[in-house]
Amino acid sequence: WGESAKKGIDLAVEEWRNSHRDRVIELIYEDTAGEAKQAVTAYQKLVSVDNVDAIIGPLLQAEIAAVAPLVDKNTVPVIAPSYAPAENRPNRRNPLLVWMDVTEEAESMAEYVFSQGVRTVSAVGTKDAWESEVTNAFAGRFGALGGSVLYKELVQPDASDVKSTWTHALAEKPEAVFIGTYYQFINSTKTLADLGYKGKRFSIEVDQYLANETKNTSNGLQFIAPDFYASDFVAKFQAKYKEKPGIPAGQAYDAANILLSFFEKASSKEAVLEDMRKIEEYNGASGLIQFTKENKTILPTAIFELRDGNAVKISP
């Protein structure tokens, strides 16, 4: 995840340097290891020791929630290819988030599932902040549409065994299951296969790693995710790294380019912060990114189906 983001940022900066030979930009990377406390430490170092002009990141919802109160007290622009609920961000435009609003995405998936004629589901997520919001938003919207959530459970993200959870979920005899978790996606698909489940399976934001790891247990599973990256970005990424860009490479690339575009015309950090407050949309590798008046970020999404370890787009 972090390496994909770094590659997207590096590509954006390389392109910017090539078109701005007279300008100098220095990148300083800090590894948070996915830990909120380390994200706070990294943020404080970048601001107080390195005296950076701006920050791209962090990448995880818990990290954003941890640094947001500090960001609000400083005048350092922060743009993150990540998500956090508005209530966790005192300043709704700093950090500026380049990630699909989770509630909107999960609710869109619920609407799709309902449109497929499914009326009863069991949903399993984890107690991770992002995944709990995903699972709860999906369940809430599905119920509001008239469907029935027969079973819902949030397990620990690092649980070693989810057999008991899925056994209870399937005991309710749902027409479909919703796997609202990245951390437990592999365990869940394997467990469902071991339990002999043959019904419909749905999920959210399955990347190539998960697709590869569940090649034998996830065929036919459908999920919602950001739409395919723009073809020119994919071509440039593959030419540089000899691999396809995975999530969140495109969002990180866009975050870097948005920030660079601000600094290109702004004379100070304060001017950049003002541009962050005013921005309404940006057309990038992720498609048309919209920053709404309600301070939500909306990106193009699509429905995909896993087939032999590959994500195939089935609905815009």
Domains, the chain, ranges and CATH? 2-97+229-298 (3.40.50.2300), 102-227+301-315 (3.40.50.2300)
Please write the tens of the pLDDT for every residue from 71-89.
999 989 999 999 998 888 9
Q: What is the CA radius of gyration of the chain?
A: 20
CB 268 within 8 A of CB 275: no
The pLDDT, as a whole number, for residue 265 is 86
Place of tokens 């008991």: 164
Q: What is the DSSP letter of 215?
A: T
Residue 150 in tokens: 């027969």
Task: Look at residue 124 and give its three-state secondary structure.
Answer: strand
Residue 181 in tokens: 């978790």
Q: What is the DSSP letter of 195?
A: T
The pLDDT, as a whole number, for residue 242 is 96
Please write the tens of the pLDDT for every residue from 253-300.
999 999 999 998 888 999 999 999 999 999 999 999 999 999 999 999
Q: What is the Cα–Cα distance from 168 to 141, expressed in whole angstroms?
A: 22
Q: Which of 36, 83, 13, 51 is nearest to 254 (CA)?
A: 13
The pLDDT, as a whole number, for residue 111 is 98
* pLDDT < 70 regions, the chain: none
Cβ atoms < 10 Å from Cβ of 198: 9
The pLDDT, as a whole number, for residue 110 is 98
Q: What is the Cα–Cα distance from 176 to 126, expressed in whole angstroms?
A: 18
Single pTM value for the model: 0.89
Which residues are within 8 A (CB) of 39 and not within 5 positions of it... i.e. 6 or more apart? 32, 58, 60, 63, 66, 67
